[in-house]
Amino acid sequence: MEKIGIITEDICSLPEKMIKDFKIEVVKTRLYFPEWEKFPEKNLYQLMRETKALPKTSAPPPGDYLKAYQKLDRDFEKILVITTSSRLSACFNSAFQARELFYKPEKVFLFDSWQAVCGQGLLVLKAVELIRENREIEEIVESLDQLKKKIKVFGFLKTTYWAEKIGRVSKWQGIIFKILKAFGVYPYLGFKEGRVKLTGFNFWTADEFEGIFNQLKHQAKKGKIRVGINFTDNIEFAFKLKEKISKELEVEVSFLSMVPPIVGANSGPGTILVACYHV
């Protein structure tokens, strides 16, 4: 029996190969989009653009986490659950309720990441690294708690339309976003104490690609960084960014992957998300 197993949600947006190789158990979120059922030949983002319809999303129910606990119970002494920020989703609450129903709740350790997408993904990979170093679970949780406050996420959205409709971005944040873009300033979103906020602006460029790269360049000047990249329907953009980061900043990108549909439904087509922290 292995020492510690990891459970997280698909919102972490890690590549399937990593999830399989590191034996990470993923609990899937829910997406309800009737228009997709009517036109299965079209992709999610194509339909969102064409219809402006709002997909409905929800956190996994407690029963899904309970099944995950029962599955890992056979092979691991302890279970570490790294959830999406409790200030963004009900994932943590569902995981907590499931632990109360589990026959051995003291075996399950819950960790509120205060993150999502690539930020959450980097935390999961750090947990894998610490487990491989044979660290105790209490030490791992403490290290992750320190790290989650240091991770920076740069979210570049084409529009805040869907994020506003779902409630991830406030009306006033949406207004500021539109005004800044109208003046040639490219704003970006990030996480602050577990909530989505407008966290910065690219005053020197209105170009999305250069804006993202310059943010990472600024971070790399302060020291070595670890980077994760997520994308929606803009895979060529994402690979071009990864190549530029690797060559010009000499930074290894830990992963590059597409977000699950629930994230795309919240952020909209054309979204690029980058997370980093200093190592």
Structure tokens at 275: 């997370």
pLDDT surpasses 70 at 39: yes
| Chain segment 106-121, per-residue pLDDT in tens | 999 999 999 999 999 9
Q: What is the pLDDT of residue 176?
A: 84
Q: What is the pLDDT of residue 204?
A: 64
* Structure-token match 């980058």, residue found: 274
- Angle at which helices 91-101 and 62-73 pack, to 10 degrees? 60
This prediction's pTM:
0.94
pLDDT band at residue 80 using 50, 70 and 90 as cut-offs: very high
Bridge partners (DSSP) of residue 108 are 79
SS3 166: helix
Q: What is the pLDDT of residue 205?
A: 67
Closest CA to 125 of 259, 255, 256: 255
Question: Do residues 196 and 166 make contact, with C-beta atoms less than 8 angstroms apart?
Answer: no
pLDDT band at residue 42 using 50, 70 and 90 as cut-offs: confident
The domains found in the chain, sorted by start residue, are 2-148 (3.40.50.10170), 152-278 (3.30.1180.10)
Distance between CA atoms of 209 and 135, rounded to whole angstroms? 39
pLDDT surpasses 90 at 235: yes
| Chain segment 154-170, per-residue pLDDT in tens | 999 988 887 888 777 88
Q: What is the pLDDT of residue 165?
A: 81
What is the maximum span of the chain, computed from C-alpha positions, in angstroms? 59
Q: What is the pLDDT of residue 182?
A: 77
pLDDT surpasses 90 at 234: yes
Distance between CA atoms of 136 and 50, rounded to whole angstroms? 50
Q: Mean pLDDT across the stretch 200-227?
A: 87
**Distance between the two ends of the chain, CA-based, in angstroms?**
31
* Structure-token match 């819950």, residue found: 110
User: φ, ψ for residue 10 (rounded to 5)?
Assistant: -65, -15
Residue 149 contacts by C-beta under 8 Å, 6 or more apart in sequence?
114
pLDDT surpasses 80 at 37: no
What sections of the chain are H helices per DSSP? Answer: 16-21, 34-38, 44-51, 62-73, 91-101, 117-132, 137-148, 161-166, 171-182, 208-221, 235-248, 261-267
Question: Do residues 177 and 275 make contact, with C-beta atoms less than 8 angstroms apart?
Answer: no
Q: Mean pLDDT across the stretch 25-31?
A: 96
In the chain, the percentage of residues whose pLDDT exceeds 90 is: 69
pLDDT surpasses 80 at 131: yes
Question: Do residues 72 and 79 make contact, with C-beta atoms less than 8 angstroms apart?
Answer: yes
Closest CA to 128 of 29, 2, 231, 252: 2
Question: Do residues 18 and 24 make contact, with C-beta atoms less than 8 angstroms apart?
Answer: yes
Top mean pLDDT of 8-17, 170-179, 210-219 is at 8-17
